[in-house]
Amino acid sequence: MSGGVDSSVAAHLLQQQGHDVIGVFMRHGEHSPAATCPVASESPAALLPLADVRADGKQGCCSAADAHDARRVADRLDIPFYALDLQEEFARIINYFVAEYTIGRTPNPCVMCNTWLKFGRLFQYADSVGADFVATGHYARLVRSPAGDTQLLRGVDVAKDQSYALFGVQRQRMRRMLLPVGEYEKSQIRELAGGLGLRVADKPDSQEICFVTTGEHGEFVRRHRDAGIDTSGEFVTLDGRVVGRHPGIERFTVGQRKGLGVALGERAFVVRIEPDTHRVVLGTHEDLARRAVTADCTNWLADPPHGPFRCQAKIRYNAPPAPATAEFLPGERLSLHFDEPRYGVAPGQAVVCYDNDRVLGGGWIESSRIFPLSATALRFKQ
């Protein structure tokens, strides 16, 4: 229970289904010494600091206020509530986040949190209290097929679908997962919360990285890595012309347009980040076009087909799925060829394959290739 409307209503829906529900808040963000919340561990009465609200006023998650919201909901539903201290485990996610940005890649900590903590570490806690399932408020669905396997599907609310962020969950754990809000539209969830008298019914959705409490990920990376590391360097165009300097590659991601701090007389985008030279390469929107993508560290939630197979694939959480042909490569790698070019393919992000609504699996983008101009011309001629 994060203190938001989705997990709050999820707890209610599980009660309605006859489950004996235990509410759990994960204490894992950056913290302020001023805020405290009871923690259920070796010492249930212990007080540990929790994350403060975002310094820029935006709605994040896992703050002290969120913990209090979650506790109030639990009291309203009359269910037990515990706040678990997972800060040590969450340090692994922070280290990953800092390391990826430092080498010019774009991390996805939410996928890692789902994989390592929410549907990883929490199973250990579930086992310790004799719980059969781990449930969250994710907008995705789980369906048990006639053959007995569990399938992960997109949520009914296409605009809120979060199945992309769950591709890394271990397949065998899906039989012990519950995602009750995935069958609903967001508006229905808020209506249910209002009908229950929950104060979180109109609470804004969390949209930021929970542990970056300032809202500035570049500053966070610099603060959490060795002070001797300097990734500042040059802005260059695709033809190698130097057009300025930047304070560090951790401030940028492929496809970024805003906040570059350099004027070229036309809209400029980050086309490539070169970690060895610390160069940030700028170009036009068309320079971002990519059709071929490779990924590594794949994870599959369905039996992978033999040979090339057709699918729809997403290159980012908020990107629409696009038709592609996928093929397995040696070493748990994946190759995808999109029917049409994709824009802003960022190394370090996940690419996830779908068969209609079903999540097949995916991996972490390691490279992409420029869409051939000759092929573009040929496609339009056809």
Domains of the chain: 5-195 (3.40.50.620), 231-284 (2.30.30.280), 287-381 (2.40.30.10)
- 144, 172 Cβ separation under 8 angstroms: no
Residue 262, number of CB atoms within 10 A of its CB: 12
State residue 368's pLDDT score. Answer: 67
Q: What is the mean pLDDT of residues 164-188?
A: 97
d(CA 150, CA 164): 16
State residue 369's pLDDT score. Answer: 59
State residue 59's pLDDT score. Answer: 44
State residue 147's pLDDT score. Answer: 79
Contacts of 146 (CB under 8 A, 6+ apart): none
Q: What is the mean pLDDT of residues 88-109?
A: 93
61, 62, 113, 311: which is the annotated catalytic residue? 113
State residue 370's pLDDT score. Answer: 53
Please give the share of the chain, as a percent, with pLDDT higher than 70: 86
State residue 379's pLDDT score. Answer: 27
Q: What is the mean pLDDT of residues 310-316?
A: 97
Q: What is the mean pLDDT of residues 336-341?
A: 97
- Interval 111-149: pLDDT, tens: 999 999 999 999 999 999 999 999 999 999 999 888 788
Q: What is the mean pLDDT of residues 160-179?
A: 97
Measured in whole angstroms, the distance separating CA 279 from the mean position of its chain's CA atoms is 27
d(CA 277, CA 280): 9
Q: What is the mean pLDDT of residues 19-38?
A: 66
d(CA 23, CA 74): 7
Q: With bands split at pLDDT 50, 70 and 90, how would you rate the model's confidence at 29?
A: low
With a threshold of 0.75, does the pTM exceed it? yes
Please give the share of the chain, as a percent, with pLDDT higher than 90: 72
Dihedral sign, CA of 68, 69, 75, 79? Answer: negative
pLDDT-wise least confident of 150-164, 199-213, 278-292, 367-381: 367-381
62 annotated active-site: no
Q: With bands split at pLDDT 50, 70 and 90, how would you rate the model's confidence at 334?
A: very high
Q: What is the mean pLDDT of residues 289-304?
A: 94
- Interval 210-238: pLDDT, tens: 888 777 889 999 999 988 899 999 999 99
Strands 150-154 and 140-144, by their bridges, are antiparallel
d(CA 115, CA 364): 13
- Interval 31-90: pLDDT, tens: 533 333 322 332 222 223 333 333 344 444 556 788 899 999 999 999 999 999 898 888
- 192, 9 Cβ separation under 8 angstroms: yes
Residue 101 has pLDDT above 60, yes or no: yes
297 annotated active-site: no
Most distant CA atoms of the chain, gap in Å: 71
61, 62, 110, 210: which is the annotated catalytic residue? 210
- Interval 237-271: pLDDT, tens: 999 999 999 999 999 999 999 999 888 888 999 99
Task: State the amino acid at position 262 in one-letter form.
Answer: V
pLDDT-wise least confident of 63-77, 161-175, 272-286: 63-77
